[in-house]
Structure 1
């Protein structure tokens, strides 16, 4: 009921459609009222209409669905902004290897001598006639232009000899800690470069050429999130490809006309160099903290850290250029990880660790357990990111430690058959990204797209978590599926909790910020195979409307 003494009338009242609150106590409502950027009433229509005043706008949803604005708990907005401006060689938009190579050749023909040719999304998993590249092969496309091609997962790049020369990398260059300049058996550089510690040295000239575009590209990326229905984005370790990225985000996200809010988790490698994020005073719109680690890598790079080796296959050896009989490897020793986790845990930071392999995740849980035993802390919300082969027998231990997981189930949709047939085999593929098992064993779970790794498509993400179907319609590990309601929570209130924002966003409850999304259909009422067809009509941040259709 309205507080008569405060005489608080709503600015906006929503009714006439389905309202999903993601509040277990009151899961649905007939109407909702907003005032001063916050929800002031939600429930029966008659009760909510008591907040209607002379200036209140009433919005008839006309059968559409209102629910909490979506929360993306793991993304990379700044580097997404840059990479989406490069030549698109991805399997999402290119049908064949010939199409990709032709696109690169055309770019070389247009480029002035010395101009960089940068491409993103090279993917032999989706485009099966592609093969691992080399400096020699790229020289055939151009010797007068430096070429830099990043694979879809971002963990590997291929460059030509001119790019290596400009970067000052020779056959005798030392290997950077945490990265690899790949060499052949004779000790010659192949042009394949693995992980950011090595990639950054070649990428720097491209970044210097891109600085003037930073503001516009980041603003465009923010719109991508909003159009997909996201109102909150977690930036899990910002790659500073624009030198003034902090000022850009501060200017954009703090504005009233920005459709999203953002939480930034800082890279541990930056913190180790004394580089911190300084956003001024934290606000509900833009905040930073935490420490992000990478303990292993990507299936497409071959550095997911496994108990048993990858399969040997045409894709692995010829398509991806991964040695036979490998089990991957960690980015640092387990002891080094423990020392660093303890250091930033003791600073009161939330720890976020990238882990895909079963051996990697077991090590990570061991490290968390040891650190928490030595230095107990309540409500730490330390995270395990991606969870490719999260050992099911370790889930209850993880839950007891207060750990939480964010899942990269897009791998099932895009790469499911490849995982099963050519990368890890059917037995391990069936239990890959086992979010269903995690849900049953008490872990709090979220789902993420990890852009630019995969497109910003939350309802297709929900669909994959619910159906476990690949884009070709094959089902892989259906026992690991979530219910629709569990998946909705994984992109709303659970994700908000992982970002320490559950008291502000993630559900439609009185007192929370009015961050909401209007959808063409109710995800709880349509067939799971149609979830990806839901359209975002408009979103609201702090009660302000952003229309997209």
Structure 2
């Protein structure tokens, strides 16, 4: 044994400080620690506000008054760049769609209402005439003869749409109009021929309605989309489209001060495509400025992994099966269809107006199959994120949850979108230990327009978040991007005011308080992800992910939250200002 090695052993036996002990001293004195003085809004009930936060190696190491932190951490560096600003927990959008956002933020747009884009607000087209004027202009500017897909039509704003209306725009090319809900397409006659959509498909799919002439009306939706996507996918999922769209989407996330998102529906388009998109265009938190988590969708798991689907989720979560971003131990399910396109499942007498008049909407999983569909994942210990919109859907989902709760009273179970909740259903959700991840935009965009289709009292049941929160149900807000812009302060503002785009206020009694609204985009959003131990509040031991604001939301009227300036974010302790 050489003398140097012998000396090392002797020193170790004599109690020479370990590397861990040296690191502990480093943390204790504040070496390599940065103290940020600011107005700190913590969302931590034990210390709601502070004058500074200390960060060490990407983690929060201390929170308190500035002089206290300087005294306790004498070797720390004080960085005063936020001294006149407000540090809040990093904003979280717990339900977005990476692939769909990459696609739609690259499309020509005809939005029914003002829509935030990467370069500012895009004017809404509030009338049928304005929609067709814009559609004709887009068609005239497109390369001749090529198929054209335009996103943003909404029937409750723009009226009914069929192939004859689109043939009047052009029959020189396949023209496809994508409904704002993303669940419906409308095709002109050349597009029907191009995509192979004919009357024979009506017997197989509810989503291919026929007109009085026995021919397709042009609308293709829900169960028939798989057929249409065989033709559409090469156009909307081309690498250059995905790159452009995700760049635009990422810019919006940064403008909104978002530090964490969850993709709800990983695998719906295809694992190879989504993996390539995320790996090439998002790359990493360091590259893009926000964290991405993935929640796999149950049908995609069944298609790809069959009987091995539950083990596949285990392998994704553990990293045995490589994924381009971390996978949460949760699975996404669907009870019913879409709020926007009036295909969510509602109670009798069904829809009273609109394109689904006379129907009750669609089930995705039939009520008697819900428990059996969820059970394998539930028994394996995974949380549930379930798309459940209409009041009939809530009843079916609550029944399924009641059956599942017989085996586990604490497992995370989150209703996604939660379009309608009756008072009785809200109370029952609390009893069953459910959580709500609410679509941030239903009230503003369609709160008034939906009164005629829903009627009384269902029109008052749109996202009753105050009632749910008062009952003890954790409530968070999500954009469901690209269906609404990922701007959390704007989303929270809507639910503090219950403002509608027409200038009214829907069910004012359901307004959230300022604290509830800020919880909904921070700590309660972290709860929906199962990450409340890591993010969502400014607490020692959590990640140093912050949103830096020019004003304190808790001291700003709710109607003005959307105007609060955002300096940028701090991600893992690293300041990232907006350009």
User: Same-fold call, TM > 0.5?
Assistant: yes
- CA distance in 2 between counterparts of 1:216 and 1:151 reads 21
TM-score, reference length from structure 2: 0.86
For the 8 Å contact 2:440–2:477, the answer to whether it is kept is yes
> Helix, strand or coil for the counterpart of 2:567?
strand
Instruction: Describe the SS at the equivalent of 2:152.
Output: strand
The C-alpha deviation readout for 1:356-377, integer Å capped at 9, x for no partner, is 111110111101211332xx13
State which drifts further: 252-261 or 72-81.
252-261
Deviations 1:438-466 (A, max 9, x none): 11111111111111111222112111111
> Which residue number in structure 2 is paired with residue 270 of structure 1?
300
* TM-superposed deviation, 1:430: 2.5
Q: Say whether 1:32 aligns with 2:53.
A: yes
Q: Which ranges of structure 1 fall in alignment gaps of 5 or more residues?
A: none
Residue 254 (structure 1) shift: 2.6
Structure 2 residue aligned with 1:479: 509
CA distance in 1, matches of 2:138, 2:443: 33
Q: Determine if the alignment matches structure 1 residue 190 to structure 2 residue 190.
A: no
Q: Distance in 1 between matches of 2:323 and 2:54?
A: 24
**1:467 matched to which residue of 2?**
497
SS at match of 1:383: strand
Are residues 285 and 497 of structure 1, via their aligned partners in 2, closer, same or farther at CA, if it must alter by over 3 Å? farther
Equivalences for residues 443-458 of structure 1 within 5 A:
443-458=473-488
Is residue 36–residue 83 contact of structure 2 (8 Å, CA) maintained in 1?
Answer: no
Task: Confirm or deny that 1:58 pairs with 2:79.
Answer: yes
* Partner-residue secondary structure (3-state), 2:197: coil
Identify unmatched segments of 5+ residues in structure 2. Answer: 1-22, 115-122, 306-311
CA deviations over 1:295-315 (Å, ceiling 9, x no partner): 2223442222112335534xx
Residues 177-208 of structure 1, C-alpha deviations (whole Å, 9 max, x = no match): 6x51122245321111122x322322333331
Q: CA RMSD in A?
A: 2.5
Match for residue 128 of structure 2?
A: 97
Per the alignment, residue 338 of structure 1 pairs with 371
Change (3 A) 1:300 1:170: same
* Residue number among 12, 21, 36 corresponding to 2:34 in the alignment: 12
Question: For each residue in 1:51-98, what CA deviation from the matched residue of structure 2 results, as whole angstroms up to 9, or x when unmatched?
Answer: 666672512424321100111111112201111111101022233333
> More helix per residue: 1 or 2?
2
> For residue 207 of structure 1, what is the aligned residue in structure 2?
233
Partner Cα separation in structure 2 for residue 70 and residue 270 of structure 1: 29
Partners of 1:225 and 1:88 lie apart in 2 by 19
What is the rounded CA distance, in whole Å, between the counterparts of 2:255 and 2:129 in structure 1?
32
Alignment of 1:247 with 2:272, yes or no, is no
What does the per-residue CA deviation read over 1:514-546, in whole Å, with 9 as the maximum and x for residues that have no partner?
110111211100112211211211112111222
Partners of 1:5 and 1:290 lie apart in 2 by 38
Q: Secondary structure at the match of 1:74?
A: strand
Contact 1:147 1:163 in 2 (8 A): yes
Q: Secondary structure at the match of 2:476?
A: strand
Is 1:514 the counterpart of 2:544? The answer is yes
Partner of residue 222 from structure 1, selected from 247, 250, 261 = 250
Q: How far did residue 399 of structure 1 move?
A: 2.6
Q: Closer, same or farther in 2 for the Cα pair 1:10/1:53, shift >3 Å?
A: farther
Q: Secondary structure at the match of 1:407?
A: strand
Counterpart for residue 528 of structure 2: 498
- Residue 375 of structure 2: SS of its match in structure 1? helix
In 1, Cα distance between equivalents of 2:328 and 2:26: 38
**Alignment map for 1:375-394 (pairs within 5 Å):** 376-377=407-408, 379-394=410-425
2:80 is paired with a residue whose SS is strand
Distance 1:150 1:242, change over 3 A: farther
Instruction: Describe the shift of the 1:144–1:283 C-alpha distance in structure 2 as closer, same or farther (beyond 3 A).
Output: closer
Q: Work out which of the residue numbers 284, 290, 310 in structure 1 matches 2:330.
A: 290
The answer on whether the counterparts of 1:355 and 1:385 sit within 8 Å (CA) in structure 2 is yes
1:101 to 1:230, Cα distance in 2 relative to 1, 3 A: same
2:108 aligned to which of 76, 87, 95? 87
SS state of the match for residue 30, structure 1?
strand
Distance 2:521 2:440 in 1: 13
Deviation at 1:331, TM superposition (A): 2.2
1:419 counterpart (450, 460, 484): 450
Instruction: Report Cα offsets for 1:409-442 as digits up to 9, x if no partner.
Output: 421112122123x222353222321111111111
- Mapped contact 1:518–1:537 kept (Cα < 8 A): yes
Mean Cα deviation higher: 151-160 or 287-296: 287-296
How far apart in 1 are the matches of 2:251 and 2:575? 13
Deviates more, 1:441-450 or 1:390-399: 390-399
* 1:78 counterpart = 2:99: yes
- d(CA) in 1 for partners of 2:297, 2:404: 19
Q: Deviations over 1:339-394 (max 9, x none)?
A: 21113222322222111111110111101211332xx1354211111122212213
Partners of 1:32 and 1:474 lie apart in 2 by 41
Q: Is the contact between residue 386 and residue 406 of structure 1 (CA under 8 Å) also seen in structure 2?
A: yes
> Is 1:150 aligned to 2:178, yes or no?
yes
Contact 2:422 2:458 in 1 (8 A): no
